[in-house]
Structure 1
Amino acid sequence: MTPRIDALVNNLEQTLPHALEQHDVPGAAVGICDSEEILWCAGFGTTARHQGTPIDTSTRFSVQSTSKLYTATSVLLAVEASELDLDEPITSYLPEFTVRSVFENAPATKITLRHLLSHTAGFTHEAPIGSNYSIGEGDFEAHCQSISDTWLRFPVGHHHEYSNLGIDLAGYIIQRTHGMPFEEYVRQELFEPLGLRRSTFDLDVIEADEKRAIGHWKPFEEAGKPLPVKVPMVAAGGLYTSVADALRYVQNHLRDGEDLLDGALLQEQYRIAYPAPGQSFGYGLGLYADEWEPGVLVRHHGGSGFGFQAQLCWVPDLDVGIVMLTNSFDHSLQNETAHRIVEWLAPAPTRRVAPAPNDGGETSGADTSSADLGALAGEYVGRLDDRVRVLAENGRLRLRGAEMSEATLTGADAMTLWNARRDRLRFLRDADGRVRYLQTLRDGQVRYRNDAATTPPSTLDPKHAGTYVAAAWGVPVATYRIFQDGESPVIGRLDDDEDAIALRLTAIGPHLYLSAMGEVLDLGSAPPTYANIPLTRVRE
């Protein structure tokens, strides 16, 4: 190892045990590699709180959504063998597949494998069978078949929105076209060639491994309940692997896929699918591309859920890969550690200087007489509940919210503006011509408009108004309130934030409502569901 790596490893060996104790994380495994060798790899803590065994570099962890990266690679192996086509409608492989939509007819016939792997098909995140809230009565096949009962959040291909369901369908297509379980195909075509002996999607193998890490999440520990292990979301989040195996997988990417996948097809995986104009970063096929340090490209995919947190990334220009696996949900050490390693190894950055915000994080945009500012003004809400308010005042636009300390409406394009990071944003219209979305062109992320301009008047049946609890396998994890607000019903999460977001609802059928973010509230099902998450009424 180089002196720089030696110093980094020494720092990590001294600081990580303290960090795990501080954040009450039972155990972790961490490693660094380059394209030729594993530079450092170590385990810390135990597989389970109080009764676990010491973690080593062969201990299996659930990596949750990091599984999507491996599933995408597996699909590309089938593409390389001319067994699948990225741009063929998936109904060629699943002729019975349908999905519901208020945006277009026969959307299933428009969805391709490229849409599935890039999260651009329009799917919601959860399915009726097998989700982050309820496993349901069914296996991987039943889970995938139940996706036909879900509603799309936007027209096929309109933009990127993260979802488990597309990746699971991609894995199901492998299972159907190859006549073998998805986990067996991946074992034969991906794990065996790379020598990944401690990696598996096989739920029976995982459950039988007495030395695997056990997931921890405080609500479940407080309730004295174990977290599920056999979860039907196999392709999207079912992988268990060791830190040593994960580093060997990363090395294949650092070697441009030479041990496994054609380089040109690998570049297809890295390319942003359906990019916005000028988009530089975002989601390719099963992975993110981003800039963690100025000028330093990082390819990565993390995973979070069922009591685990994981981060896997590599920096092509530095020829370095990083993996951190943990068996606790209640922290963000996996991301903090990966970012710290990249910062340590990256060249000294030239820091960007962002314009200073005005009082209240609010700044005026340029005067304009060409734009219909009233058509742009409103509240726009993102996937992680980040919010931007666009205000039209005295012929000027003003923006308030995350990373919006400066905003300028360009004279050349009244639908485009800039934020404080000098990222360009644009307003997008729906099929009816209404401004409905605000998209960051740097990475393609979209916020959804949440105001009366895009919400036709609807009336909520008073019997449905009230408080509802969402539970994950019987343990309450979120509380919602549904009520009539003026001309629109709304659904909002109850938390400690007095300014919590309440999403407007539009009636689309008897007891069916579409939220501003494209999720469906079904008050006619038993139990009621929101985004396919079961809700239990709280008697007040």
Structure 2
Amino acid sequence: MTTPQEELLPSTGRALLHRIAVAQAEGRAPSLVAAVVRGKETVWTGARTSVDGHGPDENVQYRIGSITKTFTAVLVLRLRDEGLLDLGDQLEKHLPGTGAGEVTIAELLAHTAGLAAESPAPWWERTPGSLRPELADVLGEQPLRHPIGRRHHYSNPGYTLLGALVEEVRGAPWEEVLRREVLEPLGLRRTGGEPQAPHAGGWAVHPWADVMLPEPAEDLGRMAPAGQLWSTTGDLARFAVFLARGDDRVLGAESVREMRAPAAPPEAADLTAGSGYGLGMQIVHRDGRILVGHSGSLPGFLACLMVSVADDLAAVVLANCTSGPAVSTVAADLVRIVAEAEPRIPEPWRPLPEVDRAVLELAGQWYWGTYAFGLRLEADGGLSLEPLSGTGRGARFRANGDGTWTGLDGYYAGELLEALRRPDGSVSHLDLGSFTFTRQPYDEGAPVPGGVDPGGWRGVR
């Protein structure tokens, strides 16, 4: 239930309704349901249907296809955060005997393991999972299509391996672990491997005539971690809040941020389309903003969840047809409509409740050689380094609690920033990944690598 402060303007709501109405009509979808999240709340829901007098609401289940992969990735990151595995570990260390054991867990998450896109025939999405009872049946005799780690190649069997990894480490079925560790803590009561009424039926719409054919809804068996789940716009809206903010009961904000960061080298086509991939999450550049989330499809269903962290907005779009409406475009458009019509109102500026004077001393202007930078204290206790000339390497840094900071993005991601002090306690310089930053350009009082010419600065005679 939304409060008056959270409600969208009527004009915004009408624009959202118009967008999904066009998508349902032009895409010839039996039904299409959508939701928009702002902050932590669902602020709009809408639906269009071919059935008079009835429309699906936020509790009607649709199959969500590959959005399932993001749930599986969350489970793997949980294992990493508990110290049970490392993303750099080869699969063989934890799940021996697959025939693809040389690939790393991170490569599987980012679709860079070189595995085939699909399992061997017959088409797994329209046939029972019982036809592929073992991992060998999913991978086939030649599981690799590309050199390991060299390129992004989307792989459904890769996420089957990740689901099997979760089962091996936890000692329980994938769906049981998912329900216990993710669905129940986040309150996703209408998400699961099997449909529960009310749910939509999956349909194929004839491409050249306005007639329909029911699609089979198979249990995917071993392939379930790649695309089995059913869910609702209500549940996926709550999941979107988690993907933007994290939840310590499931996965902390830092690990969720890691999932959203690019982790795969883009293909040329991806560069043109402005898309990439993180750890179980798609990354899309559209309308000047970065959207993260995932799309999904299975015969009879289309789905998309997209989050704009910068705008504090998310959108979910679900439809029950094999092809038709471009749900990823619709989801991006819903975010854009709200972001442009009702831009995010920033929180009021407030001074820090307290500040470490030793850290405050670092704020201000610094020089790397002759490049000028500004170092600013952030409200969360971190630092930001920005080039003052408009060009150069900037980054945000997370405080480590021991007087050092670790880079979060850009060139300095993962690099250590430390303030070096003289015997009297005053700051001599900053060391950032071996680079020396001084208060003055080539400060002769600091240990500048290579030294400073004793003649000092001079003009031309």
TM-score range, shorter chain: 0.5 to 0.7
Q: Give the secondary-structure state (helix, strand or coil) at the position aligned to 2:202.
A: coil
CA deviation after TM superposition for structure 1 residue 112, in Å:
1.1
CA deviation after TM superposition for structure 1 residue 143, in Å:
5.3
Deviations 1:385-426 (A, max 9, x none): xxxxxxxxxxxxxxxxxxxxxxxxxxxxxxxxxxxxxxxxxx
How high is the TM-score relative to the length of structure 2? 0.65
- Matched residue, 1:175: 167
CA deviation after TM superposition for structure 1 residue 293, in Å:
1.4
Unaligned runs of 5+ in 2: 342-461
Q: Determine if the alignment matches structure 1 residue 9 to structure 2 residue 5.
A: no
Matches within 5 A, 1:220-235: 226-232=215-221, 233-235=223-225
Amino acid at match of 1:217: A
Distance 1:235 1:140 in 2: 14
Rate the CA distance shift 1:18–1:89 in 2: closer, same or farther, 3 A.
closer
Distance 1:150 1:140 in 2: 15
- Kept after mapping to 2: 8 A contact 1:272/1:281: no
Matches within 5 A, 1:388-403: none
Rate the CA distance shift 1:151–1:200 in 2: closer, same or farther, 3 A.
same
- Kept after mapping to 1: 8 A contact 2:8/2:43: no
- Kept after mapping to 2: 8 A contact 1:53/1:211: no
Structure with bigger gyration radius: 2
- Matched residue, 1:70: 71
Aligned pair partner of 1:335 in 328, 337, 342: 328
- Matched residue, 1:444: none
Amino acid at match of 2:86: D
Rate the CA distance shift 1:153–1:219 in 2: closer, same or farther, 3 A.
farther
Q: Determine if the alignment matches structure 1 residue 305 to structure 2 residue 298.
A: yes
Q: Give the secondary-structure state (helix, strand or coil) at the position aligned to 1:32.
A: strand
- Matched residue, 1:25: 29
Aligned pair partner of 1:217 in 176, 192, 204: 204
Q: Give the secondary-structure state (helix, strand or coil) at the position aligned to 1:85.
A: coil
Rate the CA distance shift 1:61–1:42 in 2: closer, same or farther, 3 A.
same
Matches within 5 A, 1:260-409: 260-275=250-265, 282-294=276-288, 296-346=289-339
Aligned pair partner of 2:138 in 146, 152, 176: 146
Matches within 5 A, 1:442-453: none
Distance 1:241 1:222 in 2: 26
Amino acid at match of 1:238: Q
Rate the CA distance shift 1:15–1:347 in 2: closer, same or farther, 3 A.
closer
Amino acid at match of 2:283: A
- Kept after mapping to 1: 8 A contact 2:215/2:299: no
CA deviation after TM superposition for structure 1 residue 224, in Å:
5.1
Q: Give the secondary-structure state (helix, strand or coil) at the position aligned to 2:130.
A: coil
Amino acid at match of 2:217: P
Amino acid at match of 1:24: R
Tell me the number of residue pairs that the alignment of Structure 1 and Structure 2 aligns: 330
Aligned pair partner of 2:104 in 112, 118, 123: 112
Unaligned runs of 5+ in 1: 99-107, 349-540
Q: Relative contact order (alpha carbons < 8 A, sep ≥ 6): 1 or 2 greater?
A: 2
Distance 1:244 1:94 in 2: 35
Matches within 5 A, 1:425-464: none
Rate the CA distance shift 1:28–1:7 in 2: closer, same or farther, 3 A.
same
- Kept after mapping to 1: 8 A contact 2:32/2:47: yes
Q: Determine if the alignment matches structure 1 residue 160 to structure 2 residue 152.
A: yes
- Matched residue, 2:236: 246
- Kept after mapping to 2: 8 A contact 1:129/1:136: no
Q: Determine if the alignment matches structure 1 residue 82 to structure 2 residue 71.
A: no
How high is the TM-score relative to the length of structure 1? 0.56
- Kept after mapping to 1: 8 A contact 2:29/2:325: no
Q: Give the secondary-structure state (helix, strand or coil) at the position aligned to 1:149.
A: coil
Distance 2:318 2:232 in 1: 8
CA deviation after TM superposition for structure 1 residue 73, in Å:
1.0
- Matched residue, 1:38: 42
Distance 1:38 1:225 in 2: 31
Rate the CA distance shift 1:43–1:346 in 2: closer, same or farther, 3 A.
closer
- Kept after mapping to 1: 8 A contact 2:27/2:325: no
Rate the CA distance shift 1:266–1:229 in 2: closer, same or farther, 3 A.
same
Rate the CA distance shift 1:146–1:347 in 2: closer, same or farther, 3 A.
closer
Rate the CA distance shift 1:137–1:29 in 2: closer, same or farther, 3 A.
closer
CA deviation after TM superposition for structure 1 residue 242, in Å:
0.6
CA deviation after TM superposition for structure 1 residue 133, in Å:
5.7
Matches within 5 A, 1:113-128: 113-128=105-120
Distance 1:139 1:176 in 2: 22
Amino acid at match of 1:83: L
Q: Give the secondary-structure state (helix, strand or coil) at the position aligned to 1:217.
A: strand
CA deviation after TM superposition for structure 1 residue 190, in Å:
0.3
Q: Give the secondary-structure state (helix, strand or coil) at the position aligned to 1:160.
A: coil
Aligned pair partner of 1:189 in 181, 192, 200: 181
CA deviation after TM superposition for structure 1 residue 286, in Å:
0.6
Distance 1:117 1:86 in 2: 9
